[in-house]
Chains A and B, each alone.
Chain A
Amino acid sequence: MIKDITFGQYFPAKSIIHRLDPRIKLVLSLMFIIFIFVAQNAVSLAFIGTLTLLFVLISRVPVSLFLKNIKAILFVIILTSVLNALYVTTGNVLLEFWIIKITADGVKRALFMSARIIILIISSSLLTYTTTPTELTDAIERLLKPLRFIGLGEAVHVMAMMITIALRFIPTLIEETDKIMSAQKARGADLESGTLFERIKALIPILVPLLISSVRRAYDLAEAMECRCYNGGSGRQRMKQLKLAGRDYLSLAVLVVCMSAIIAFNIIF
């Protein structure tokens, strides 16, 4: 069913990572991702991998959810590994036939790349699993606030508002689509078989009502916002004030220490 499409994969749980300030979380995640590529040798990569696992455990999000995401891009991982293994031809030759030459360096490089991609996926999923889409856009809006000095303040606000509204209405739209699909199926609409052309035509009974109700909803929303005196970003205050707490500074400190460790590992080993 259409509801099975997970979007904005927030997973509600009680953990310190869920409670972190979204701005900090966003910045830390970006830093973390950069350091996945800063890590140059096996030791620093193993270190950053261990950290990732630790964060996953702390987040209390089921490990299976992360595995699902990795499975989704397994093909990309395999492809990158194979290409890397074939491309690098220096070092001890492990296997050679026809035009294919696999070397120790190549295998090492392939493993390295896969590990990086996997860590990358896990850490970015960690951000989306523990932060609601609204929190994320909120964080983006605030982090981009300095743009107002070059006259882009309103633009940032409008973009953020649009993203928030869009995200807010995705579940509603999915639900609506589901309902209309059920109603048309009950009238014998055949959505599952037929030629491509027939299938496209079969979508009309679903798309027309969906479009109409979306437009109606948009007008309703606009009206409701106006009734509550919405007139853009200037002078707007927030109900949910973000305030950095002890845990935010703590996590920032932890990350800085870890990052220094990675640089150190890079130099030492």
Chain B
Amino acid sequence: MATLSVENLTYVYGEKSPFQKTAIEDVTFSAKSGEIIGVIGHTGSGKSTLVQHFNGLLKANSGKVLLDGADIWENPKEIRKIRFKIGMVFQYPEYQLFEETVYKDIAFGPTNMGLSAEDINKRVLDTAQMLGITAEMLEKSPFDLSGGEKRRVAIAGVMAMQPEIIVFDEPTAGLDPAGRDIVLEKIKEYRDRTGALVFIVSHSMEDMARVADKLLVMNSGHLSMFDTVKKVFSNPQKLKKIGLNVPQVTKVFSALKEKGIPVDENVFTVNDAVSYLLSFLKGGKNND
């Protein structure tokens, strides 16, 4: 079990330079193992900046990040240990691949952790299997793979470290629908297997509705909402005001309701919509 708490976090880029920019200001929240938290917000709202504080890649100007109640910067020399517990998959992670083979690249993290060769081997093979990376692919150069495959390899490189908390910055950006589905599914699978706390930064409300338990909404560097998916999406006006929106199907259901058809507005995914509509049409009453 792990708990991540963020207290009054403020971060300023280029302090005391003419380009000074407060990227996040006074952000406070707390999350615990087993949750998938979607981080949403308009472009430049500070999502990436916020998540890079979790494992100490950025150090806040003021405020704290607590892992299980202890400040991650308590002992700056031990920050690498924190990074083994809190993994981070950057946007377009395929650009960080560098080894000769996929196997070696996935092994990079576990090797840095100082694990035994046996452990490393096991972790690499397990993770590869979970992410659908075949034995044949493991021996290839990472640069000979397709974009979607590279993405999976890069994600495997972080998952193989088996962090208790794992952060994904726009993991599905630039992938085709099938690729997106696979990545989201694997993230969910990782959570189910390890009970980790997962953060996903995303611009897709549809994706978030599908996988997230809670949503953390950023607006111009401030934490605007931190609540369950249902609560956040039941407030479309507020989302609109900060440049976001509810999923498309939810809009359809709102429109139906406006037309006088007594449907439930709290439908966020297409799958839910299908089963809801089927039972609605059959029984004439909702089963929610």
Contacts and interface: CB of A to CB of B under 8 A. Distances in A.
Whether A and B are associated in the same complex: the answer reads: yes
A186 B158 contact: yes
A143 B18 CA distance: 31
Interface string B73-85: 0000000100110
Nearest to A62: B18
Interface residues of A, number: 20
Contact of A183 (B14, B18, B96, B161): B96
A182 B98 contact: no
B52 interface: yes
Interface of A: 3, 11-12, 179-180, 182-190, 204-205, 208-209, 212-213
Given A11-B18, A187-B158, 9 more contacts: A182-B57, A183-B95, A183-B96, A184-B96, A187-B96, A188-B83, A205-B96, A209-B95, A209-B98
A209 B96 contact: yes
Counting chain B CB atoms within 10 Å of each CB, the highest count among A180, A185, A213 belongs to A185
A186 B90 contact: yes
A179 B90 contact: yes
B95 A190 contact: no
B25 to A, nearest CB: 21
Contact of A188 (B14, B95, B98, B113): B113
A189 B218 CA distance: 30
Main secondary structure of the interface of B (DSSP, over half): helix
Contacts of A12: 18
Interface of B: 14, 18, 52, 55, 57, 80, 83-84, 87-88, 90, 93, 95-98, 108-109, 112-113, 143, 157-158, 161
A150 to B, nearest CB: 43
Nearest to B91: A179
Given A188-B109, A190-B112, A212-B143, A182 B90 contact: yes
Contacts of A185: 57, 83
A186 B83 contact: yes
A213 B96 CA distance: 10
Contact of B84 (A11, A188, A208, A212): A188
A185 B161 CA distance: 13
Contacts of B52: 182
27 contacts: A179-B90, A179-B95, A180-B96, A182-B90, A183-B90, A183-B93, A183-B95, A186-B55, A186-B57, A186-B83, A186-B87, A186-B90, A186-B158, A187-B108, A187-B158, A187-B161, A188-B84, A188-B161, A189-B108, A189-B112, A190-B112, A204-B98, A205-B108, A209-B95, A209-B96, A209-B97, A212-B95
B172 to A, nearest CB: 17
A180 B98 CA distance: 11
Contacts of A3: 14
B80 A190 contact: yes
Nearest to B157: A187
Contacts of A184: 96
A213 B95 contact: yes
A154 to B, nearest CB: 36
Contacts of B55: 186
A209 B97 CA distance: 6
Contacts of B98: 204-205, 208-209
B109 A187 contact: yes
Contacts of A182: 52, 57, 90
Contacts of B57: 182, 185-186
A184 B98 CA distance: 10
A58 B143 CA distance: 54
Contacts of A186: 55, 57, 83, 87-88, 90, 158
- The 8 residue pairs across chains A and B that have the minimum distance between CB atoms: A188-B112, A208-B98, A183-B96, A186-B88, A187-B109, A183-B90, A182-B57, A205-B98
